[in-house]
Structure 1
Amino acid sequence: MAFGTKNHLVGLDIGSRTIKAAEIVETKRGRRLKKFAMVDIPPGLIEDGTINDSEKVAEYIRQLFKDNKLVEHNVAVSIGGFSVIVKKIYVQKMDEIKLQETIQFEAEQYIPFDISDVNLDFQILGENENNPNQMSVFLVAARKEMVNEYINLVQMAGLNPCIIDVEAFALQNVFEFNYDELNENIALIDIGASKTSLNIIKGFSSLFMRDVSLGCGQINQKIVSLAGCTLEEAEQIKFGSQDDKISNEDLKEIVSSVVTDWCAEIKRALDFFYSTYPDDSITKIMLSGGGANIKDFRQLLSMETSAEVELIDPFNKLELSDSLDSSYLGKIAPQASISIGLALRRIDDK
């Protein structure tokens, strides 16, 4: 979904607890990360992808751009959650123009919303391996209400929304840029504050996508319940400060119970994938998002799935501007992945 004219843009990842902005420029030596910035926002402004206070969120975005001297106003943003449906479908072979004319009819049987309430997009993947008369197509449907919400927010912040992407695609984009193509199944999993995106790819082709409502906010909620504190205080407790309000043992128990739930939910999603692709196996899981930093989670997930678990490095093949702190970027790398995936986009991309 493109709305602008210039090729260059800023990747703007608007999360429920953190907003990230990344700017990547083309150089003779390749792509260079010119700017990266992030700011935390108070809980409640954005919940489950719904923007509850557009003006306050817009002010945080404006301030983020001002404080970090981000002057480019063309941006790419992403959406996800249950208001977005991504599904691989099979249709009779036809050219892209013909499919553009018929996609609404094709989509009606797969979309659980009124077709007039969604924006549709698609990408032709190629011939159906099991039926040469058909082709496989990635169908993307996003509720117009959510798309308009994010367009209005970005415009309220004084920026130009050029691309509305899907979080799982942004994650795939950053992986494809930074890693060599492997002919094996790899699960890209982003654990955010309130939702988790799962994208299983093989040879840079996506096989399976799912969003689930779990994230780091669950840890904060359990801390609030036990310590009787605010969500802001819970965030500090989670990272080791204000330990007078809760014991280390209680904190470890909370984190352990939450990441156990995460692993169970992820395993359910992977089992569904295996039911569709019974001859396939997932050899590697690449993690991003704030939850990826939890060591106990990575270890348990590896045990539960019998797969190698790694942190994704979104800066792996990017040249870094001299003004950027590489040690800081190394610490926040998993959280930066979606914004980098968006910043790699260009307005004339499909």
Structure 2
Amino acid sequence: MPRRSVIALDISDSSIKAAELKFADDRWKVQRFGEKAIVQGKGIRSAHMAEEIKGLFDELKLNPKGVLVSINGADATFKLLKLPPVRSSKVNLAQLIKYELMEMIPFSDVVYDYHVAKQGEAETLVPLIAIRRDRLNEYLDLMERAGVKPRTLIPSFLVLYHTLLANGTLDQSGGSTVAVRIGRTIADMAVVKEYLLSFARSFPIRVGTRPETFLNDLRNTLVSLLKSEDGDDKELVIISEDERLPLGLAVEEFQNALPYSNFRYQVIDEEFTIGLAFSLGHDPHLLPVNLLKPVKAERRERKLKELKRRLFLASPCITLVLLSTLAFLLHGRINSLEEKLSLKEEIQGIVDRRGKEISSLKGDLKNLRLQAEAIDWANDLSPAISYSLYKIASSTPDGIWLKEIHSPELPQSGKKVLPISSLFVVGYARSQSEVSDFKDRLKSSGCFSVIQQQDTEEKVLKEGRFLCFKLYLRIKGR
């Protein structure tokens, strides 16, 4: 059961809204609500906005601790990641998501959180929300100046999704719904398919925007969505804060301009804040991400490092005790790693299904450890090389066995070693068609500019006859 009472704060470029929500009769209800308009041009870094938040909390007599905060969705990015089946550790999933993030967002210093929404035999669906670290810090600085201590912080398009779940707006048959919430200076969009958020975006409505320009931009976005989806019949829901739509538009103008025959209009004002409290519940469809979660984890890590540093400096006795404790923990970690290696051997035997005995894999254990160390080294030294290895592994078909991946001998320029720009991949296949399939997958990965098959020879192994092939790969951009 969720907490009985919470405080919600919604921050946009045009207004701030605060509410006290109470849980009664199996639903959240707004008890107290207040709103203050913000003069455009005074951003979140201004002292004015911090004072307005303080004044609103004082006026409503709200507790500023543990507040659920919604921020401008235009500052955040959403993507539904479709990953291969992931049945191993959370560490491996986190590494896969980092690789996807490199292609998704064109800046490096970001804060993000994600949730595994579905794990199946074919794919793993992971909704992810990210924000630039400097922009998030501006919001956190605003909270500190306003005296607010946030518990959660999420973008407005996610609040829209949770509001749709909370008030039953979604298609009850589990079909597809496209919801657009139009505020005074921002529009939030959420596409929900079978209760799963598949697309989300927020974009500003700037001062002086012509109504026909806004409708045209909105229509182009929705048309592109229709092309990218599988063509199922979708319902369009237009949501506004009150009966007065922005830019002087009428409901009929939206209905005539937008490419959906199944159309509905709804007014949601103060109950929009229910979408913030809904994330505290246990609905199976909610998306429990929180942009404060990674920030808090980083702070804990820094505190732990500082504590370790102080303990080591404290005295030799404490150092010995700490070393003993670390040795004990490392021993447990080694045992855990050995168990995971054993599990990998068993899984490999199931996948091969060609009569390989598990004992034959034990002889490769040393090589596997060396390869794992090499991959860790590559990841630390050059993310581009690590990403290339990831693309090779994820593109390998079932009928291909990789023997080794290595780089050509690195030329030297004076005392400086030039960066790795190409790789050789050596492996075994039962036929040339399997090798061609492997090459096609590598080409579609978009990671390599040149893919050439060089040496190929037939070899007789214990398991049968195989083609031993060698591919030359040149990393794109190098």
Quick check: TM above 0.5? yes
Which of 260, 273, 277 lines up with 1:339 in the alignment? 273
Q: Take 1:108 and 1:30, find their aligned partners in 2: how far apart are those partners?
A: 40
Partner of 2:256: 303
Q: Take 2:99 and 2:281, find their aligned partners in 1: how far apart are those partners?
A: 27
Task: Read off the aligned partner of 1:218 and give its amino acid letter.
Answer: G
Give the 3 Å change call, closer, same or farther, for CA 198–32 of structure 1 in structure 2.
Answer: closer
1:300 Cα shift? 0.8
Partner of 1:218: 208
> What does 1:133-212 align with in structure 2 at a 5 Å threshold?
133-179=122-168, 181-182=170-171, 183-212=174-203
Partner of 1:248: none
> What does 1:212-251 align with in structure 2 at a 5 Å threshold?
212-214=203-205, 217-218=207-208
Partner of 2:90: 97
Partner of 2:215: 263
| Identity level (%) | 22
Scaled by the length of structure 1, what TM-score is found?
Answer: 0.70
Give the 3 Å change call, closer, same or farther, for CA 90–344 of structure 1 in structure 2.
Answer: closer
Is 1:58 matched with 2:20? no
Task: Read off the aligned partner of 2:265 and give its amino acid letter.
Answer: E
Is 1:71 matched with 2:63? yes
Q: Take 1:342 and 1:30, find their aligned partners in 2: how far apart are those partners?
A: 13
Deviation string, structure 1 residues 248-307 (Cα, Å, up to 9, x no partner): xxxxxxxxxx33222211111111111111412332323134696357432111112234
Q: Take 1:190 and 1:123, find their aligned partners in 2: how far apart are those partners?
A: 24
Could you tell me whether the CA contact under 8 Å between 2:78 and 2:129 is conserved in 1? yes
Q: What's the C-alpha RMSD, in Å, of the aligned pairs?
A: 2.7
Name which structure has the greater RCO, CA cutoff 8 Å, separation 6+: 1
Question: Which runs of 5 or more structure 1 residues have no equivalent in the other structure?
Answer: 1-5, 220-257, 314-332
Give the 3 Å change call, closer, same or farther, for CA 291–119 of structure 1 in structure 2.
Answer: farther
Q: Take 2:169 and 2:65, find their aligned partners in 1: how far apart are those partners?
A: 32
Q: Take 2:236 and 2:281, find their aligned partners in 1: how far apart are those partners?
A: 31
Give the 3 Å change call, closer, same or farther, for CA 93–347 of structure 1 in structure 2.
Answer: same
Task: Read off the aligned partner of 1:191 and give its amino acid letter.
Answer: I
Task: Read off the aligned partner of 1:285 and give its amino acid letter.
Answer: V
Task: Read off the aligned partner of 1:26 and give its amino acid letter.
Answer: F
Give the 3 Å change call, closer, same or farther, for CA 292–264 of structure 1 in structure 2.
Answer: farther
Q: Take 1:209 and 1:84, find their aligned partners in 2: how far apart are those partners?
A: 10
1:86 Cα shift? 0.5
Is 1:282 matched with 2:282? no
Q: Take 2:151 and 2:133, find their aligned partners in 1: how far apart are those partners?
A: 16
1:64 Cα shift? 0.3
Q: Take 2:63 and 2:222, find their aligned partners in 1: how far apart are those partners?
A: 42
Give the 3 Å change call, closer, same or farther, for CA 108–29 of structure 1 in structure 2.
Answer: closer
Give the 3 Å change call, closer, same or farther, for CA 147–27 of structure 1 in structure 2.
Answer: same
1:338 Cα shift? 4.2
Q: Take 1:68 and 1:144, find their aligned partners in 2: how far apart are those partners?
A: 31
Q: Take 1:30 and 1:194, find their aligned partners in 2: how far apart are those partners?
A: 29
Give the 3 Å change call, closer, same or farther, for CA 8–154 of structure 1 in structure 2.
Answer: farther
Q: Take 2:24 and 2:102, find their aligned partners in 1: how far apart are those partners?
A: 44
Scaled by the length of structure 2, what TM-score is found?
Answer: 0.53
Could you tell me whether the CA contact under 8 Å between 1:301 and 1:309 is conserved in 2? no
Could you tell me whether the CA contact under 8 Å between 1:192 and 1:291 is conserved in 2? no
Partner of 1:20: 17
1:106 Cα shift? 2.7
Secondary structure of residue in 2 paired with 1:109: helix
Could you tell me whether the CA contact under 8 Å between 1:18 and 1:41 is conserved in 2? yes
Aligned length: 275
Question: Which runs of 5 or more structure 2 residues have no equivalent in the other structure?
Answer: 283-287, 290-478
Could you tell me whether the CA contact under 8 Å between 2:241 and 2:267 is conserved in 1? no
Q: Take 1:218 and 1:340, find their aligned partners in 2: how far apart are those partners?
A: 31
Secondary structure of residue in 2 paired with 1:61: helix
Partner of 1:242: none
